[in-house]
Amino acid sequence: MLRIAIAGAAGRMGKSLIEAVMDAGPELRLGAATVEAGDPSLGLDAGMLASGRKAGVETVDSFAGCAGEFDVLIDFTSPATLAGHTGFCRAHRKALVVGTTGLGPEHHDLLAACAQAAPVLHAPNMSLGVNLSLQLLRQATAALGEGFDVEIIEAHHRHKKDAPSGTALAMGRAVAETRGQKLEDCAIYGRQGIGEERDRNTIGFATVRGGDIVGEHTVIFAGPGERLEITHKAGNRATFANGALRAARWLAGKPPNLYTMTDALTPADLGPAPCPPQ
């Protein structure tokens, strides 16, 4: 039995993760769940908080004292909490799955440091469909060559704080790297006023925030006389929660290292390798 700890149990993803663990069957069990200090749900049964069913685990405001209660920690909270979670997992050699987006270089340094002592898997998106999309984007970029402009449009709920989304950036990075570019050198994050005509070597991003949109991403390859669009739409957060549990199952027992969601997927899931650039 694999014991799972959930950070941010009172949040939207935290509740989805708890529910997914409870629905996963006897091979998974909720071991610990945290909420912020002072949160009204502190001390409540985490299962009742998420799905109205008892899990037998009360929420706490820290994983201190819980090290013996879980095997893998799943964190979808915020960049601000990452230092505490990576420090805890590094000290106690606990496997860590991170789906938090909006990370900067200093946060990636924290993940790398933790991975020296414990297995760590970080991915901006845990869904199988998105990771398949990344593979398709590499294939499309290699096949279409330089004659197509690339634009990325992403939409999320009004509460999402980082923009563009981590998934949109991962998609842009897949295109850029296949072209032999660095995303930082070719990304355009907004357009306004009158300027020069579009540079074909750039990758454009457009961001939408509104309502309760779970997550939608479209990459447009616009060429002369035709347009190819690769789109992924998430209907609910269970998609990401189930992907995170898949990652947790795969990560448990792995040696210390920094892994990605691609590592946790089988070759059959991802399809053939992309064609090399011509």
Give the model's pLDDT for residue 171: 96
Residue type (1 letter), 217: H
pLDDT for 266 equals 63
Residues 215 and 244 placed together within one structural domain of the fold: no
CA distances from 184 to 27, 39, 164, 181, 227 (A): 42, 39, 13, 9, 25
Calculate the average pLDDT of the chain.
92
| Together in a domain, 61 and 88 | yes
pLDDT in tens, 151-198: 999 999 999 989 999 899 999 999 999 999 999 999 999 889 988 899
Same domain, 118 and 248: yes
Q: Is 54 exposed, middle or buried (0-12, 13-18, 19+ CB in 10 A)?
A: exposed
The CA-to-CA distance between both ends of the chain, in Å, stands at 48
Among 155, 151, 159, 130, CA closest to 207: 155
Per DSSP, the three-state class of 222 is strand
- Is residue 277 a part of any domain in this protein? no
Order of strands across the sheet with 149-156? 187-188, 203-209, 149-156, 215-223, 226-234
d(C-alpha 274, C-alpha 141), whole Å: 9
In this structure, are 147 and 200 located in the same domain?
yes
Does residue 6 share a domain with residue 110?
Answer: yes
Please check whether residues 47 and 77 belong to one and the same domain. yes
Active site residue: 160, 217, 232, 254, which one? Answer: 160
Whether the per-residue pLDDT at 35 is higher than 90: the answer is yes
CA dihedral 83, 88, 93, 99 (to 10 degrees): -50
Is there a single domain that holds both residue 11 and residue 105?
Answer: yes
160: annotated active-site residue: yes
Per-residue pLDDT of 79-123, as tens digits, reads 999 999 999 999 999 999 999 988 999 999 999 999 999 999 999
What is the total count of domains within the chain?
Answer: 2
Give yes or no for residue 271 having a pLDDT over 50. no
106/18 same-domain check: yes
Kindly tell me if the per-residue pLDDT of 278 is higher than 60.
Answer: no
Residue 220 sits in a domain whose CATH number is: 3.30.360.10
Domain span at 133: 128-234
Active-site residue, from 156, 161, 217, 254: 156
Q: Are residues 8 and 113 in the same domain?
A: yes
State the Cα–Cα distance between residues 15 and 36, nearest whole angstrom. Answer: 14
